[in-house]
Amino acid sequence: AHLRQNSVVGDGCRVGNFVELKNSVLGDGSKASHLAYIGDAVVGKNCNVGCGAVFVNFDGVSKHRTVVGDNVFIGSNLIAPLTLADGTYVACSTTVTKDTMPDDFVIGRSDASVKHGRASRLVAALKEQKKKIDK
């Protein structure tokens, strides 16, 4: 495990092999047993962060925060900014991009949509958006 700066691990937590926490809080009784990245997040009590879960906190221009309620099961990736309400269950192989309400079940598995030749336009738009926010 790698606990980077500004990381706090609550009582009764499990942080296992190849887990990295950066600028994050892991609430009491929560588990990240193996192969996970938790960056710029607050994770509530009694949560489970599944194998291979990544808290995506950087869009290429700005860092964003994730907030996870209590008793949440995280089976896969979270893309910040994002808030998962208490009792949310995220199925494995699901990437979450929208906030949830209490007791939501989130599942989504489909083929990727590839937009050829569009990456540079996306990065330019993100940079322009950041300039407007920073003013």
CA distances (Å), 4 to each of 15, 21, 37, 102, 131, in order? 13, 6, 11, 30, 29
Contact, 11 vs 29, CB < 8 A? yes
Q: Which of 2, 34, 64, 116 is catalytic?
A: 34
Beta-carbon contacts of 9 under 8 Å, excluding residues fewer than 6 positions away, are 3, 15, 21, 26
Q: Which residue has the tokens 């330019």?
A: 124
Q: DSSP characters for 12-45?
A: T-EEEEEEEEES-EE-TT-EEEEEEEEESEEE-T
For residue 116, indicate whether it is catalytic. Answer: no
- Which active-site residues does the annotation give? 34
